Amino acid sequence: MLYRPFRNSDPPKLHQLWHLCALGPNAAEGFSCDVFELFACAQPYWDPNGLMLALDEASGRVAGFVHAGFAANAAQSALDYSRGTICGLMVHPDFRRREIGTALVRRAEDYLRSKGANSVVAGGGLEQNGFYAGIYGGLDPSGFCTSAAAWPQFFQKCGYAPCDEVLILRRDLIRSKDPVNAKLLRHRRHLNLVITDRPTNESWWWFVRYGHLDSLRFELHEKANGNVVASGQIIGMDLFIPKWGVRSVGIREIFVPESQRRHGYAQALLLEICRRLKGESVELVEAHVLPADQPVLDLFNSAKFDVTGRLLTFRRSL
Protein backbone atom coordinates (compact mmCIF):
# COMPACT_ATOMS: atom_id res chain seq x y z
CA MET A 1 0.00 0.00 0.00
CA LEU A 2 1.33 3.42 -0.96
CA TYR A 3 0.34 6.44 1.16
CA ARG A 4 0.68 9.92 -0.30
CA PRO A 5 -0.86 13.39 -0.02
CA PHE A 6 -3.50 14.72 -2.41
CA ARG A 7 -2.68 15.62 -6.00
CA ASN A 8 -4.74 17.83 -8.31
CA SER A 9 -5.79 14.86 -10.43
CA ASP A 10 -7.30 12.96 -7.46
CA PRO A 11 -10.89 14.34 -7.13
CA PRO A 12 -12.50 11.98 -9.69
CA LYS A 13 -10.98 9.00 -7.83
CA LEU A 14 -12.08 10.33 -4.43
CA HIS A 15 -15.56 11.09 -5.77
CA GLN A 16 -15.82 7.53 -7.07
CA LEU A 17 -14.55 6.08 -3.79
CA TRP A 18 -17.15 8.12 -1.87
CA HIS A 19 -19.87 6.38 -3.91
CA LEU A 20 -18.39 2.89 -3.43
CA CYS A 21 -17.89 3.02 0.34
CA ALA A 22 -21.51 2.62 1.55
CA LEU A 23 -21.22 5.66 3.82
CA GLY A 24 -24.69 5.22 5.28
CA PRO A 25 -27.89 7.27 5.34
CA ASN A 26 -26.17 10.51 6.37
CA ALA A 27 -23.95 10.80 3.30
CA ALA A 28 -25.25 12.47 0.13
CA GLU A 29 -24.79 10.52 -3.09
CA GLY A 30 -25.44 11.07 -6.77
CA PHE A 31 -23.70 14.46 -6.95
CA SER A 32 -21.05 15.42 -9.51
CA CYS A 33 -17.28 15.53 -9.05
CA ASP A 34 -17.45 19.36 -9.22
CA VAL A 35 -19.71 19.30 -6.17
CA PHE A 36 -17.27 17.01 -4.37
CA GLU A 37 -14.43 19.45 -5.09
CA LEU A 38 -16.51 22.40 -3.90
CA PHE A 39 -17.29 20.82 -0.53
CA ALA A 40 -14.01 18.95 0.03
CA CYS A 41 -11.27 21.07 -1.52
CA ALA A 42 -12.49 24.65 -2.06
CA GLN A 43 -12.31 26.08 1.47
CA PRO A 44 -9.78 28.90 1.98
CA TYR A 45 -7.89 26.75 4.51
CA TRP A 46 -7.76 23.71 2.20
CA ASP A 47 -4.32 22.11 2.44
CA PRO A 48 -3.44 19.27 0.03
CA ASN A 49 -1.15 17.79 2.69
CA GLY A 50 -4.17 17.32 5.01
CA LEU A 51 -5.79 14.79 2.68
CA MET A 52 -3.91 11.49 2.46
CA LEU A 53 -4.70 8.65 0.08
CA ALA A 54 -3.96 4.94 0.36
CA LEU A 55 -3.25 3.38 -3.06
CA ASP A 56 -2.93 -0.28 -3.87
CA GLU A 57 0.39 -0.34 -5.76
CA ALA A 58 -0.39 -3.54 -7.68
CA SER A 59 -3.71 -2.37 -9.17
CA GLY A 60 -3.34 1.41 -8.86
CA ARG A 61 -6.76 1.55 -7.14
CA VAL A 62 -7.50 4.06 -4.39
CA ALA A 63 -8.11 1.96 -1.26
CA GLY A 64 -9.04 4.83 1.06
CA PHE A 65 -8.45 8.37 2.20
CA VAL A 66 -8.37 10.43 5.35
CA HIS A 67 -8.95 14.18 5.52
CA ALA A 68 -7.57 16.15 8.47
CA GLY A 69 -8.35 19.75 9.37
CA PHE A 70 -8.80 22.08 12.31
CA ALA A 71 -11.65 23.39 14.44
CA ALA A 72 -12.44 27.11 14.55
CA ASN A 73 -11.35 29.45 17.33
CA ALA A 74 -13.92 30.64 19.89
CA ALA A 75 -14.69 33.80 17.86
CA GLN A 76 -15.14 31.66 14.71
CA SER A 77 -12.83 34.10 12.92
CA ALA A 78 -9.94 31.73 12.10
CA LEU A 79 -8.74 28.16 12.57
CA ASP A 80 -7.48 27.02 15.96
CA TYR A 81 -4.41 25.00 15.00
CA SER A 82 -4.19 23.43 18.45
CA ARG A 83 -7.45 21.53 17.85
CA GLY A 84 -7.13 19.00 15.06
CA THR A 85 -10.05 17.18 13.45
CA ILE A 86 -10.43 14.13 11.25
CA CYS A 87 -13.11 15.41 8.90
CA GLY A 88 -13.43 12.38 6.63
CA LEU A 89 -12.18 8.79 6.59
CA MET A 90 -13.12 5.93 4.33
CA VAL A 91 -11.69 2.62 3.14
CA HIS A 92 -13.07 0.76 0.11
CA PRO A 93 -14.99 -2.40 1.20
CA ASP A 94 -12.49 -4.62 -0.72
CA PHE A 95 -9.64 -3.32 1.44
CA ARG A 96 -11.20 -3.29 4.92
CA ARG A 97 -9.74 -5.07 7.99
CA ARG A 98 -6.19 -4.73 6.61
CA GLU A 99 -5.19 -1.91 8.95
CA ILE A 100 -5.45 0.70 6.18
CA GLY A 101 -7.93 2.79 8.19
CA THR A 102 -5.55 2.72 11.16
CA ALA A 103 -2.57 3.68 8.99
CA LEU A 104 -4.53 6.62 7.52
CA VAL A 105 -5.49 7.84 11.01
CA ARG A 106 -1.81 7.75 12.06
CA ARG A 107 -0.86 9.83 9.01
CA ALA A 108 -3.61 12.33 9.78
CA GLU A 109 -2.29 12.60 13.36
CA ASP A 110 1.28 13.19 12.10
CA TYR A 111 0.04 15.98 9.84
CA LEU A 112 -2.01 17.60 12.63
CA ARG A 113 0.88 17.37 15.09
CA SER A 114 3.24 18.99 12.55
CA LYS A 115 0.83 21.95 12.35
CA GLY A 116 0.65 22.42 16.13
CA ALA A 117 -2.38 20.36 17.17
CA ASN A 118 -2.34 18.89 20.67
CA SER A 119 -5.61 16.97 20.33
CA VAL A 120 -7.70 15.47 17.57
CA VAL A 121 -11.45 14.93 17.36
CA ALA A 122 -12.44 12.39 14.74
CA GLY A 123 -15.77 13.38 13.23
CA GLY A 124 -15.27 17.08 13.99
CA GLY A 125 -18.26 17.64 16.27
CA LEU A 126 -21.23 19.98 16.28
CA GLU A 127 -20.37 22.84 13.86
CA GLN A 128 -16.64 22.03 14.13
CA ASN A 129 -16.07 20.09 10.92
CA GLY A 130 -14.41 22.36 8.38
CA PHE A 131 -15.16 20.21 5.32
CA TYR A 132 -18.15 18.34 3.83
CA ALA A 133 -20.92 20.63 5.17
CA GLY A 134 -23.62 20.08 2.55
CA ILE A 135 -22.75 16.51 1.56
CA TYR A 136 -22.23 14.63 4.86
CA GLY A 137 -24.20 14.40 8.08
CA GLY A 138 -27.36 16.10 6.76
CA LEU A 139 -27.61 19.63 8.13
CA ASP A 140 -24.02 19.46 9.32
CA PRO A 141 -21.14 16.95 9.35
CA SER A 142 -21.32 16.92 13.17
CA GLY A 143 -19.80 13.43 13.53
CA PHE A 144 -19.62 10.02 11.90
CA CYS A 145 -22.82 8.10 11.19
CA THR A 146 -23.35 5.25 13.69
CA SER A 147 -24.90 2.87 11.17
CA ALA A 148 -22.19 3.19 8.49
CA ALA A 149 -19.22 1.61 10.25
CA ALA A 150 -18.05 0.04 13.48
CA TRP A 151 -16.72 3.45 14.56
CA PRO A 152 -16.57 2.76 18.35
CA GLN A 153 -14.55 -0.44 17.86
CA PHE A 154 -12.35 1.12 15.18
CA PHE A 155 -11.47 4.25 17.12
CA GLN A 156 -11.04 2.37 20.39
CA LYS A 157 -8.41 0.22 18.65
CA CYS A 158 -6.77 3.45 17.39
CA GLY A 159 -6.51 4.71 21.01
CA TYR A 160 -9.39 7.22 20.93
CA ALA A 161 -12.02 7.78 23.64
CA PRO A 162 -15.70 8.43 22.81
CA CYS A 163 -16.29 12.20 22.75
CA ASP A 164 -19.64 13.74 21.74
CA GLU A 165 -22.81 12.24 20.45
CA VAL A 166 -24.93 14.57 18.32
CA LEU A 167 -28.64 13.77 18.07
CA ILE A 168 -30.35 14.12 14.69
CA LEU A 169 -33.91 15.33 15.19
CA ARG A 170 -36.33 15.21 12.32
CA ARG A 171 -39.87 16.11 11.52
CA ASP A 172 -41.76 14.58 8.62
CA LEU A 173 -43.84 17.52 7.40
CA ILE A 174 -46.23 15.35 5.40
CA ARG A 175 -47.25 12.91 8.14
CA SER A 176 -47.04 14.98 11.32
CA LYS A 177 -49.66 17.45 12.51
CA ASP A 178 -49.06 20.79 14.25
CA PRO A 179 -49.94 20.97 17.95
CA VAL A 180 -52.78 23.40 18.71
CA ASN A 181 -53.20 25.47 21.86
CA ALA A 182 -54.52 28.85 22.91
CA LYS A 183 -51.03 30.35 23.31
CA LEU A 184 -50.05 29.47 19.75
CA LEU A 185 -53.29 30.94 18.37
CA ARG A 186 -52.68 34.15 20.36
CA HIS A 187 -49.10 34.37 19.05
CA ARG A 188 -50.34 34.04 15.47
CA ARG A 189 -52.57 37.08 15.99
CA HIS A 190 -49.89 39.24 17.64
CA LEU A 191 -46.74 38.27 15.75
CA ASN A 192 -45.43 38.75 12.22
CA LEU A 193 -43.01 36.39 10.49
CA VAL A 194 -40.20 38.23 8.68
CA ILE A 195 -37.97 36.29 6.26
CA THR A 196 -34.67 37.60 4.90
CA ASP A 197 -32.13 36.02 2.58
CA ARG A 198 -29.24 38.21 3.73
CA PRO A 199 -27.04 36.66 6.41
CA THR A 200 -26.71 39.01 9.37
CA ASN A 201 -23.66 39.05 11.65
CA GLU A 202 -22.52 35.63 10.52
CA SER A 203 -18.95 34.59 11.27
CA TRP A 204 -16.14 33.72 8.87
CA TRP A 205 -16.62 30.07 9.89
CA TRP A 206 -20.30 30.29 8.89
CA PHE A 207 -19.43 31.65 5.44
CA VAL A 208 -16.77 29.04 4.68
CA ARG A 209 -19.04 26.17 5.76
CA TYR A 210 -22.54 27.27 4.71
CA GLY A 211 -21.72 29.96 2.13
CA HIS A 212 -22.30 27.62 -0.84
CA LEU A 213 -25.71 26.49 0.45
CA ASP A 214 -29.12 28.19 0.38
CA SER A 215 -29.98 29.86 3.65
CA LEU A 216 -32.77 32.05 5.03
CA ARG A 217 -33.25 33.85 8.32
CA PHE A 218 -36.66 33.82 10.03
CA GLU A 219 -37.74 36.29 12.72
CA LEU A 220 -40.94 36.65 14.73
CA HIS A 221 -41.71 40.35 15.30
CA GLU A 222 -44.30 41.75 17.70
CA LYS A 223 -46.87 43.58 15.54
CA ALA A 224 -47.29 46.35 18.13
CA ASN A 225 -43.67 47.50 18.42
CA GLY A 226 -41.55 45.48 15.95
CA ASN A 227 -39.55 43.77 18.74
CA VAL A 228 -37.89 40.53 17.65
CA VAL A 229 -39.04 37.80 20.04
CA ALA A 230 -37.51 34.78 18.26
CA SER A 231 -35.14 34.12 15.37
CA GLY A 232 -33.73 31.15 13.52
CA GLN A 233 -32.05 30.07 10.33
CA ILE A 234 -32.60 27.40 7.71
CA ILE A 235 -29.98 25.75 5.50
CA GLY A 236 -30.96 23.99 2.27
CA MET A 237 -30.04 20.30 2.01
CA ASP A 238 -30.83 19.82 -1.69
CA LEU A 239 -27.73 17.69 -2.32
CA PHE A 240 -29.40 14.92 -0.30
CA ILE A 241 -32.42 14.72 -2.66
CA PRO A 242 -30.93 11.93 -4.87
CA LYS A 243 -30.24 9.83 -1.75
CA TRP A 244 -33.37 10.53 0.31
CA GLY A 245 -35.83 11.20 -2.50
CA VAL A 246 -37.34 14.17 -0.65
CA ARG A 247 -36.56 17.86 -0.28
CA SER A 248 -35.17 18.58 3.15
CA VAL A 249 -34.02 21.60 5.11
CA GLY A 250 -31.97 22.04 8.29
CA ILE A 251 -32.94 24.41 11.11
CA ARG A 252 -30.29 25.99 13.32
CA GLU A 253 -29.61 28.90 15.64
CA ILE A 254 -33.08 29.14 17.16
CA PHE A 255 -32.75 32.03 19.59
CA VAL A 256 -35.09 33.87 21.93
CA PRO A 257 -33.83 36.94 23.86
CA GLU A 258 -33.47 36.24 27.59
CA SER A 259 -36.36 38.56 28.53
CA GLN A 260 -38.75 36.82 26.12
CA ARG A 261 -38.18 33.22 27.21
CA ARG A 262 -40.87 30.77 28.43
CA HIS A 263 -43.65 32.43 26.40
CA GLY A 264 -43.75 29.78 23.66
CA TYR A 265 -42.16 32.06 21.02
CA ALA A 266 -39.54 29.51 19.95
CA GLN A 267 -42.19 26.83 19.46
CA ALA A 268 -44.34 29.32 17.52
CA LEU A 269 -41.35 30.17 15.29
CA LEU A 270 -40.48 26.52 14.63
CA LEU A 271 -44.07 25.69 13.70
CA GLU A 272 -44.30 28.73 11.46
CA ILE A 273 -41.05 27.80 9.68
CA CYS A 274 -42.34 24.24 9.19
CA ARG A 275 -45.66 25.54 7.81
CA ARG A 276 -43.87 27.78 5.29
CA LEU A 277 -41.47 25.01 4.24
CA LYS A 278 -44.32 22.57 3.71
CA GLY A 279 -45.85 25.13 1.35
CA GLU A 280 -42.56 25.07 -0.60
CA SER A 281 -42.70 21.24 -1.05
CA VAL A 282 -40.14 20.54 1.66
CA GLU A 283 -40.97 17.19 3.26
CA LEU A 284 -38.30 16.78 5.92
CA VAL A 285 -36.86 19.19 8.48
CA GLU A 286 -33.77 18.37 10.52
CA ALA A 287 -31.86 19.79 13.48
CA HIS A 288 -28.68 18.68 15.29
CA VAL A 289 -28.65 18.88 19.10
CA LEU A 290 -26.33 17.74 21.88
CA PRO A 291 -28.05 15.31 24.30
CA ALA A 292 -27.13 17.56 27.26
CA ASP A 293 -29.05 20.49 25.76
CA GLN A 294 -32.37 19.58 27.40
CA PRO A 295 -34.21 22.90 26.78
CA VAL A 296 -33.50 22.66 23.04
CA LEU A 297 -34.51 18.98 22.95
CA ASP A 298 -37.77 19.81 24.74
CA LEU A 299 -38.40 22.64 22.30
CA PHE A 300 -38.00 20.46 19.20
CA ASN A 301 -40.04 17.75 20.88
CA SER A 302 -42.85 20.26 21.42
CA ALA A 303 -42.75 21.04 17.68
CA LYS A 304 -43.12 17.31 16.80
CA PHE A 305 -39.47 16.51 16.03
CA ASP A 306 -38.17 13.02 16.94
CA VAL A 307 -34.66 11.69 17.44
CA THR A 308 -33.94 9.64 14.30
CA GLY A 309 -30.18 9.11 14.44
CA ARG A 310 -26.87 9.86 16.05
CA LEU A 311 -23.50 11.14 14.86
CA LEU A 312 -20.43 10.21 16.90
CA THR A 313 -17.05 11.79 17.56
CA PHE A 314 -13.92 10.36 19.19
CA ARG A 315 -11.04 12.19 20.83
CA ARG A 316 -7.35 11.57 21.35
CA SER A 317 -4.67 13.70 22.92
CA LEU A 318 -1.64 14.12 20.67
Closest contact distance (angstroms) between CB of 271 and ligand COA is: 33
For ligand COA, the closer of residues 158 and 246 by Cβ is 158
Q: How many helices (H) and strands (E) does the chain have?
A: 9, 13
Which residue is at the shortest CB distance from ligand COA?
101
Indicate the residue among 30 and 116 with the shorter CB distance to ligand COA.
30
Q: Whose Cβ is closer to ligand COA: residue 123's or residue 232's?
A: 123
Cβ nearer to ligand COA, comparing 43 with 73? 43
H or E segment at 87?
A: strand 79-91
Query: What are φ and ψ of residue 122, in 5° steps?
Result: -80, 125
User: Which of 77, 88, 75, 78 shows the shortest CA–CA distance to 15?
Assistant: 88
Max Cα separation, the chain? Answer: 73
Tell me how far, at minimum, the Cβ of 148 lies from ligand COA, in Å.
4
Q: Residue 101 or residue 264: which is nearer to ligand COA going by CB?
A: 101
Specify the residue, 152 or 199, whose C-beta has the smaller distance to ligand COA: 152
Residues near ligand COA (CB under 6 A) are 21, 23-24, 88-91, 96-102, 136, 144, 148-150, 153-154, 157
DSSP 238: G
Say how far apart CA 15 and CA 306 lie, in whole Å.
Answer: 32
**Least gap, CB of 184 to ligand COA (angstroms):** 40
153, HSE (Cβ side, Cα atoms, 13 Å):
5
Q: Smallest distance, Å, CB 251 to ligand COA?
A: 23
Distance of CA 6 to the CA centre of its chain: 23
CB of 151 to ligand COA, least distance (A): 6
In b/e form, how buried is each residue of 69-80, taking b as 16+ CB within 10 angstroms?
A: bbbbbeebeebb
The pairing of beta strand 248-255 with beta strand 284-289: parallel
Nearest approach, Cβ of 32 to ligand COA (angstroms)?
Answer: 18
